[in-house]
Amino acid sequence: FAKSAITFMKDWGFDGIDVDWEYPADSTQATNMILLLKEIRSQLDAYAAQYAPGYHFLLSIAAPAGPEHYSLLRFADLGQVLDYVNLMAYDYAGSWSSFSGHDANLFANPSNPNASPYNTDTAIKAYINGGVPASKIVLGMPIYGRSFEGTTDIGKAYSGIGSGSWENGIWDYKVLPKAGATVKYDSVAKGYYSYDPSSKEL
């Protein structure tokens, strides 16, 4: 894999490689992930030494923001081998959820936990406390919203996700809020959402 990734990077003129491993399922896979990243780093450096002396090719990963996934990662090793950790701080709620919820809230809302099952603050602190330098963390943010139909508000039960801009249940940011919807702000979770009480779509 490492060799083919380097070839792909060379053929397309990229300045590095971003690995999207979703997700290491146990400690063995987490260790294998580090071994893979170290091998890619070694081959990136070897390629640079031969063809671009002095140049540093970048190595990053798409990193999970859910504790059930990031708790398995070897943070300190990631902090050493990677240039950047691209935190997927979005998709905190969607069609898989039991309740309507925020897509990318900053904090949890203890008074409405169903609306904020995940939060960015806790994830970032976990990575930093585990040994990933804050300077290497890149915050990913969505340019879309996830919809919930037949719901009375955020953090409530819903009946479906409806249509979308390019996939059911997903609406591009540029078309939001939809006609008839009102933008609301959760000042605790630090998250915006729109809701139409007549259609009961969030």
Q: What percent of the chain has pLDDT over 70?
A: 100
Q: Which of 22, 39, 68, 149 is catalytic?
A: 22
Helices (H), the chain: 2-12, 27-51, 67-70, 75-81, 120-130
Indicate the pLDDT class of residue 37, thresholds 50, 70 and 90: very high
- The C-alpha atoms of residue 125 and residue 89 are separated, in whole angstroms, by 13
Could you say which of 3.90.25.10, 3.40.50.11890, 3.40.50.300, 3.20.20.80 is the CATH number of the domain covering 2-145? 3.20.20.80
The 10 Å Cβ neighbour count of residue 21 is 16
Indicate the pLDDT class of residue 53, thresholds 50, 70 and 90: very high
Indicate the pLDDT class of residue 107, thresholds 50, 70 and 90: very high
What would the pLDDT profile of 66-94 be if each residue is shown by its tens digit? 999 999 999 999 999 999 999 999 999 99
Among this protein's residues, is 22 annotated catalytic? yes
Helices (H), 71-196: 75-81, 120-130
